[in-house]
Structure 1
Amino acid sequence: MMKRTIEIREEGVPEAFAVVRKSWEEGGVRFLSWSFRAERETVFPPVRIHITVPARGIHYRWTPKLHLIKALNSDWFENLYETSGFTGAPVECLIAQDNRNCAVIALSDTLHTIGMKSIPVEETAQYDVEIALFDREAYRGMEYSVTVRVDTRPLPYYKALADTAKWWETIPGNEPAVVPEAAREIMYSTWYSYHQNVDEKTLFAQAELAKELGCSSLLLDDGWQTEDTGRGYAYCGDWKPAPSKFPDMAGFVKRMHDIGMGVIPWYSVPFIGERSENFQRFKDMLIDPDAEREWHVLDPRYPEVREFLIGIYEKALLDWDLDGFKLDFVDEFVVTPFSGREEDDRRDCTSFTEAADRLMKDCMARLKSHKADIMLEFRQTYNGPRMRSFGNIFRAVDC
């Protein structure tokens, strides 16, 4: 079996920065670390780290956001894979034709926005993995450290990825949330049968049938909070039960509990629609104000935004005695060109990803202070190591 040697190259490291580089090996896996330090607080300039491995035997490429097509890209295609704590995970996997691992390259920084790009270099018969730091989102501070894990062991690629996931679990901030037993039971989702056409009478009848089939909870999806059934999210932001559908949400939840069924309603966390009552309050606290649609993404760098969102879930939990939340579209908390366009004294965070992380941490703490075994469902693409510290149910895309 060919032993894969790796090469490392850096671009853009400022001469004024103190840089400490380390390299070591554990169990056949190579680790490379960089620690950058500036003399004073500053905005770090873009830095690129290149890790090159022999291209021999590589037939496929995989990332957590690749979806269906694992084909290799040429260098003239769009190859950028962008990851943060709220979408994907900082890892690229290069795979042999027989599903053996050729190289899994993963980063310890699972929070900040990082660009990764893996392309073949035809002239040298190598594969170049580029890691872009401090590029898409500005990083302000005095120091920054990152470790890169390079696994070229000829294991089944899924085993190499599983070992990567176990490594992430050892990094502070990535500790997986406790999973209550109810989260492991079969659940009935209203979306696939009813979409937005839901009401308490119909769903209670379905819940009785679902209970007989072994379901233990109802995932009450989109539609409970609006009279509109035209799809889209223009009415998101108020989160009040639609009177014609759920005139007594607390009563509905109690009836469900009486037959042994939990209730987990859907919320589109970052969205606020232009047709909601709350839109005027937050219309200048958005990261995508120029979006050509009737809904936008709230900016978590504002403490008012974070408290607004946390308060909505906390009130619903207490008023209706819910069993959990399906928190959707968290992967919309990503950096946009508008995110860093201007300063605003009302913000208490400069980093967008750090603010979103603070929102999720504070939200989970508040909800679990009321109900320790609360269920929280996430889905792709926000299913990376950082999100596992918050959610305890993960759904693999829409079925």
Structure 2
Amino acid sequence: MTDTSSTAPVPIWVPGQASAQPQQPVLLGPTATARGLRLQATDTDAAQATEVADGVWEISFRVGPAPLELTALVPAVDAVTYWRPGSAVPHATVPPSWGDPVDTTALLGIPLGALLLRQDRTGLVHTLDAGSHRTTVRAGLVEESADFAVIMTVEDAEPGEEIRLLLDVSGRPFTDAVPDAGRLFEQDGGTPPAPGAEDAVLCTWYFAHQDVTAQTVLAQADRAATLGFGVVIVDDGWQTMSQTRGYGWCGDWEVAAEKFPDPAGLVAELHARGLRTMWWVGTPFLGFHARARTAGLLTRYQETELDAAVLDPRDDSTRLHLVERIRDLVVKTGADGVKLDFLERFATPVPDDPSPNSPVAATVRLLAEIVDAVESAGVRPLIEFREPYVHPAVSRYATMLRVGDCPLSATQNRVGIVDLRMLRPSRPVHSDPIMWATDDTAERVAHHLINALFGVPQVSVDLVRLDTAPSDALAFWMRVWTTYRDTLLHGELLPQRPDLLYPLIAANDGVRHIVARYAPHAVPLPQRPWREVLIANADDSEPLIVNDAFPMSVRVEIWDARGRPTHRSLAELAPGPSVLPVPSGGLARLTHPDLGPAPEL
């Protein structure tokens, strides 16, 4: 709906806006005016604005000969923080409007953000669908007016292309408005997860690094299957005898026979134990020691410190080389898929690059060609992408998304999982592989696993060399996750306080409620009818639970971090607060006594 008012808004100047192009208002209508939302653009002739829900607009633009620039403003009343998704992105700041811009491509982030208000409400949610084109977003507070401005530029679109913008000032909760914005531009939201995409993963990287062999992998297999893992990622090292941590032997993508004399046999052995296999591929790298350097492949630039060059995906023969090698790797070994790593390196700008063609768009073509080639060979592959390449333009080719590298950082894993689930609600989200120090306690191991509870856990530790206490903690929390994974992954996800890094997260499926606490926060019991409530304690204090309903009888079960029962009783919960004696790293389960036994843990 378009405002037909005869009073035309006046263009707004924003400090730090360097554009010399004049911007004109885009008329959104009375609802926007009442809520203080203003939008202006450099080219408004072909703008089409539709209010798709109360306080939510979709606006389409046709790109002209110059870059498209957009500015949206809202009053920053009750503002708490500006949220952008990402495990390494600040979550507790309201930046100034003159701050540094954020560049986004289809291989680097996603142009989606939200101004959050008190009580986790949204003041503004914005997302821009510019396909694989580079966008720049500068969002921040205008000091002169206490408005919040979002300034967006689409850099390299062709004239006539359609660009879509979503603006949401509905005031809905963060957990409703942000996933809806994420869904808007998904192209495959109805596609069911690929078989194995939601299975727990054992990854070889952190515990083996490049010293990985068939014997290393097989030694883990029985224990991994017993613990409930469904996938093994054979990470970097399978293609080289080097252990220098460089990428000098990437590009041929042939299995090092000294380490893996029978790769197809290894995959078959893992399949016999119910474990799928994925091979790591450092996709853009052509190592300085690779035989493929003589094959006429085109490269864009050198990564001398990595002992490799980066391939040029715009070249047809270079893409064909990668497609054929990856297809043959999967098909000839009988593997279930690949971990395509470092895709963001394809998009690194090169100042003297003479070509007008986009390496990002070429990488999108490459990914489509890889998937088509493998599927044409009769395999529906598992494909892992990790932050930062989670944009819908490329991640539609992935069956799973993973938090970026954050070894030993439980908080970063937690934040990354929740952010990706808010951003890409229809895609399985995996943790960065969980590891811990040799002398870490069972409690600390449990903390790491609880921080990954609402995603698909990846783990990277030597399972056969674990001490008893960490092994017990891993086994217990894997049982908890496996038993309740449908609720954890597909229930309603309710993370609280993004500005405090989600100190309390809950998921529910209507009758089963699972809550994890990561700080000394009270845990409110659900006010709707429930069958089970689980409380995972990743803090050192005992949980304070709050019953806002009527008095109730419950069965209480408590386990410590190693899964050892510490308490079991029937209890009367009065309205108000109660303390549950849940040890750090432990779990409490409350059930109604008259609804039958709960699952065994």
TM-score tier after normalising by the smaller chain length? 0.7 to 0.9
**Superimposed CA distance per residue, residues 202-248 of structure 1 (whole angstroms, 9 cap, x where no aligned partner):** 21011121111112221111111111112122221121222321122
Is the CA contact (8 Å cut-off) linking 1:234 and 1:294 kept in structure 2? Answer: yes
Q: Which residue of 2 aligns with 1:25?
A: 51
Q: Which residue of 2 aligns with 1:267?
A: 281
Change (3 A) 1:217 1:378: same
Distance 2:41 2:304 in 1: 36
**3-state SS of 1:164 partner:** helix
Change (3 A) 1:324 1:100: same
Q: Which residue of 1 aligns with 2:26?
A: none
**Superimposed CA distance per residue, residues 332-382 of structure 1 (whole angstroms, 9 cap, x where no aligned partner):** 2325034x7314xxxxx8232221111111111111122343211111111
Query: In the alignment, which of 267, 270, 292 is matched to residue 253 of structure 1?
Result: 267
Q: Which residue of 1 aligns with 2:314?
A: 301
Is it true that 1:130 corresponds to 2:147 in the alignment? no
Q: Which residue of 2 aligns with 1:353?
A: 360
Cα deviation, residue 175, structure 1: 5.3
Is the CA contact (8 Å cut-off) linking 2:97 and 2:138 kept in structure 1? Answer: no
Is it true that 1:286 corresponds to 2:299 in the alignment? yes
One-letter amino acid matched to 1:21: A
For these two proteins, the number of residue pairs brought into alignment is: 372
Is it true that 1:365 corresponds to 2:396 in the alignment? no
Q: Which has the larger radius of gyration?
A: 2
Change (3 A) 1:187 1:132: same
Is the CA contact (8 Å cut-off) linking 2:336 and 2:379 kept in structure 1? Answer: no
Cα deviation, residue 328, structure 1: 0.9
One-letter amino acid matched to 2:314: R
Q: Which residue of 2 aligns with 1:378?
A: 385
Change (3 A) 1:161 1:282: farther
Distance 1:49 1:390 in 2: 29
One-letter amino acid matched to 1:247: P
Change (3 A) 1:337 1:366: same
Q: Which residue of 1 aligns with 2:354?
A: 342
Distance 1:320 1:91 in 2: 39
Distance 1:360 1:114 in 2: 21
One-letter amino acid matched to 2:221: A
Map 1:148-159; keep pairs closer than 5 Å: 148-159=165-176
Query: In the alignment, which of 64, 78, 82 is matched to residue 61 of structure 1?
Result: 82
Is it true that 1:168 corresponds to 2:185 in the alignment? yes
Query: In the alignment, which of 380, 396, 399 is matched to residue 403 of structure 2?
Result: 396
Change (3 A) 1:335 1:112: farther
Map 1:225-244; keep pairs closer than 5 Å: 225-244=239-258
**3-state SS of 1:227 partner:** coil
Change (3 A) 1:235 1:355: same
RMSD: 2.3
Cα deviation, residue 58, structure 1: 1.9
Distance 2:130 2:63 in 1: 14
Is the CA contact (8 Å cut-off) linking 2:123 and 2:171 kept in structure 1? Answer: yes
One-letter amino acid matched to 2:95: N
One-letter amino acid matched to 2:394: M
Gaps of 5+ in 2: 1-31, 406-431, 433-601
One-letter amino acid matched to 1:30: W
TM-score, length basis structure 2: 0.58
Cα deviation, residue 276, structure 1: 1.9
TM-score, length basis structure 1: 0.86
**3-state SS of 1:85 partner:** coil
Is the CA contact (8 Å cut-off) linking 1:120 and 1:128 kept in structure 2? Answer: yes
Is it true that 1:106 corresponds to 2:122 in the alignment? no
Cα deviation, residue 388, structure 1: 3.4
Query: In the alignment, which of 33, 36, 50 is matched to residue 63 of structure 2?
Result: 36
Cα deviation, residue 297, structure 1: 2.1
**3-state SS of 1:103 partner:** strand
One-letter amino acid matched to 1:9: Q
Q: Which residue of 1 aligns with 2:228?
A: 214
Is it true that 1:327 corresponds to 2:340 in the alignment? yes
Distance 1:176 1:113 in 2: 27
Q: Which residue of 2 aligns with 1:146?
A: 163
Distance 2:35 2:80 in 1: 15
Is the CA contact (8 Å cut-off) linking 1:177 and 1:391 kept in structure 2? Answer: no
Distance 2:321 2:66 in 1: 34
Distance 2:128 2:98 in 1: 25
Is the CA contact (8 Å cut-off) linking 2:87 and 2:403 kept in structure 1? Answer: no
Cα deviation, residue 128, structure 1: 1.3
One-letter amino acid matched to 2:387: Q
**3-state SS of 1:26 partner:** strand
Change (3 A) 1:68 1:23: closer
Is the CA contact (8 Å cut-off) linking 2:99 and 2:138 kept in structure 1? Answer: no
Is it true that 1:74 corresponds to 2:87 in the alignment? no
Cα deviation, residue 387, structure 1: 3.0
Cα deviation, residue 68, structure 1: 4.3
Is it true that 1:8 corresponds to 2:8 in the alignment? no
Distance 2:207 2:118 in 1: 40
One-letter amino acid matched to 2:218: F
Is the CA contact (8 Å cut-off) linking 1:377 and 1:391 kept in structure 2? Answer: yes
Change (3 A) 1:10 1:360: same
Distance 1:165 1:187 in 2: 26
Is the CA contact (8 Å cut-off) linking 1:21 and 1:33 kept in structure 2? Answer: yes
Query: In the alignment, which of 308, 311, 323 is matched to residue 310 of structure 1?
Result: 323
Distance 2:364 2:268 in 1: 33
Change (3 A) 1:396 1:290: closer
**3-state SS of 1:278 partner:** helix
Change (3 A) 1:289 1:388: closer
Q: Which has the higher contact order (CA 8 A, sep 6+)?
A: 1
**Superimposed CA distance per residue, residues 74-130 of structure 1 (whole angstroms, 9 cap, x where no aligned partner):** 24542x222222221121211124321111111122321111110211012111111
Distance 2:152 2:197 in 1: 36
Change (3 A) 1:178 1:371: farther
Is the CA contact (8 Å cut-off) linking 1:176 and 1:389 kept in structure 2? Answer: no
One-letter amino acid matched to 2:208: Y
Is the CA contact (8 Å cut-off) linking 1:60 and 1:97 kept in structure 2? Answer: no
**Superimposed CA distance per residue, residues 3-35 of structure 1 (whole angstroms, 9 cap, x where no aligned partner):** 632222234x5xxxx941122201120222211
Q: Which residue of 1 aligns with 2:394?
A: 387
